[in-house]
A = this chain, B = another copy of it.
Amino acid sequence: MAHSGEFGLINKLTSSLIKSKYVIVGVGDDCAVIKSSGSRYILATVDAQVMGVHFLPGTPPERIGRKAAAVSISDIAAMGGTPKHCLVSLFLPKNISDAYVEDVYRGITRECKTYSVGIVGGNITRAPQFAIDIALLGEASPKNILLRSGAEAGDKVLVTGSLGNAAAGLRLLQAPRAAISGAIRDFLVAKQTSPTPRISESAAIACARKATSMIDISDGLAQDMLHIAEQSKVGVILHEKRFPISRELKVFCKSMRKNPSVFALAGGEDYELLFTVPPERADSLASRIKRKTGTEVTEIGEITKKEKGNWLILNNGRKMRLKPSGWDHLKI
């Protein structure tokens, strides 16, 4: 694509970008040129947000931008890395205004700035639907990298923060007349539209070198736990009664006659960190994270041998197979 407006818009969007000392060439040439810091490994990830799929048309554009950056930054957090540079690919329908795109881009820029990420390049193309695709580069010391594949039988399963809030927020956006009061609604909707990538928590976990595997919860606890189980070739037991559920989600669920565990298991988009730790180190790591970041960490289960399978122990003591989806029928 090359229309006369493209380069003008690129100039408007990128004029205030700041280049770090590791960026030799930023936006404006055929490629960005980056100096790598030698002994560290490069992390690379890409994530897209599409209008109508990942966000509703009425979402404030700056929030759309912030979230698009946040979900990629969360992928770097999930590996124990430091996010560094990103490329922003924009898909713009004909009727979109420059002002709207500038607001989205400001959101991306601000979220990136919060985590010291520089925008080093990108692309603009026409498309029927507005979308943002962000490719993010990060770095990590080889010994600090946490994969999905390192969990071992006996490890404890830990999770940061609380689960299910983002999915409840999405329900509220879809049903704006639900009888949920201001503060509760604001909290849950903010968890949906403005997720916080757990970069400091990730750094605390990675630097301690005690965890054996890690993932960020984007698809829901059940699905993402099964990613770790599958890639680590282990089984898992989760305990419903230990799920960290916020006061706000409890109020929401009571009012809506829903089971908070369903939101935790299948909701997705919480962007909390799910990780495994040898049992004798679990408590000290959880305390360390709380001390360093203020974020609560909860032990919600344990890793078993693969042949034991994947299980959820319900509040009533019954066992259910842990499956990626289909939790809607779980009784309150």
Which A residues contact B (CB, under 8 angstroms)?
1-2, 4, 24-25, 28-36, 38, 40-48, 50, 52-54, 75-76, 78-79, 81, 85, 87, 89, 91, 120-123, 125-129, 131, 133, 135, 137-138, 140, 142, 145, 147-149, 215-216, 218-220, 223, 231, 268, 324-325
- In the bound complex, residues from chain B placing their C-beta under 8 Å from that of A131 are 91, 127, 131
- In the bound complex, residues from chain B placing their C-beta under 8 Å from that of A120 are 44
Contact A46 B127 (CB under 8 A): no
Residue from A31, A50, A125 having most chain B Cβ neighbours under 10 A:
A31
Contact A87 B52 (CB under 8 A): no
- In the bound complex, residues from chain B placing their C-beta under 8 Å from that of A231 are 28-29
Residue from A2, A79, A142 having most chain B Cβ neighbours under 10 A:
A2
A-B contact pairs, 26 of them (CB 8 A): A2-B325, A4-B324, A24-B142, A25-B145, A28-B148, A29-B231, A30-B78, A31-B75, A32-B45, A33-B42, A33-B79, A33-B140, A35-B41, A36-B36, A45-B87, A45-B121, A48-B91, A48-B125, A48-B127, A50-B91, A52-B128, A53-B125, A89-B135, A91-B131, A128-B128, A135-B135
Contact B34 A42 (CB under 8 A): yes
